[in-house]
Amino acid sequence: MILVGLTGGIGSGKSTVSALLAARGAVVVDADAIVREVQSPGHPVFAAIVERFGEEVRGPDGGLDRQALADRVFGDDEALAALNALVHPAVGEEIARRLEAEAATDHVVVLDVPLLVESGRDDMAALVVVDVDPEVAVERLVAHRGMRADDVRARMARQASREDRLARADVVLDNSGDRAALEAQVDALWPRLEALPPADRG
């Protein structure tokens, strides 16, 4: 397997790039999707979250009310640390399981993780960073996802800085333009990813 990291700040368009790479044949291991899986009813992590934070984080449908949970933990370092302690180990185990399942293949495996730079992980053949001006990202998230600007900025403050991500990047995709411009960059990137050296299984 050829292991490629994909990251970007909130609102950068990372999920769009992830989908474009999947359409070209990449196997995507999406940390955000795994988080949603472990936070779904019936999973031990969901039960632990409700026990720790109370019934107010359970939505009308019985699932997790993500906005209520976000309101509870952002701005409260202790609560956020408690949430991470419940969620991160389960997510890490599932990521490891999926990577192991691909280890013997010749697939390009894209590890799509918002906090990849912060994690210090260094076993990837390349790190792709999706970059956009933070204020553009705020505008997009407010307009398209209905998020509150102060909530977006609070989340950004907990991520690596734009400068840190760019300093670590092997490839930078500029998402300040339209989707066609982004797709053209992914088209150019794909053969480069396929030519990268495979992961060392030793």
Residues annotated in a binding site for ATP: 11-16
**Count of beta carbons in the 10 Å neighbourhood of residue 135:** 11
Binding residues: 11-16
Distance CA 100, CA 190 (A): 23
Cβ–Cβ under 8 Å, residues 171 and 127: yes
Helices (H), the chain: 14-23, 31-38, 44-53, 66-73, 77-102, 116-119, 134-145, 149-157, 162-168, 179-194
Distance CA 56, CA 49 (A): 11
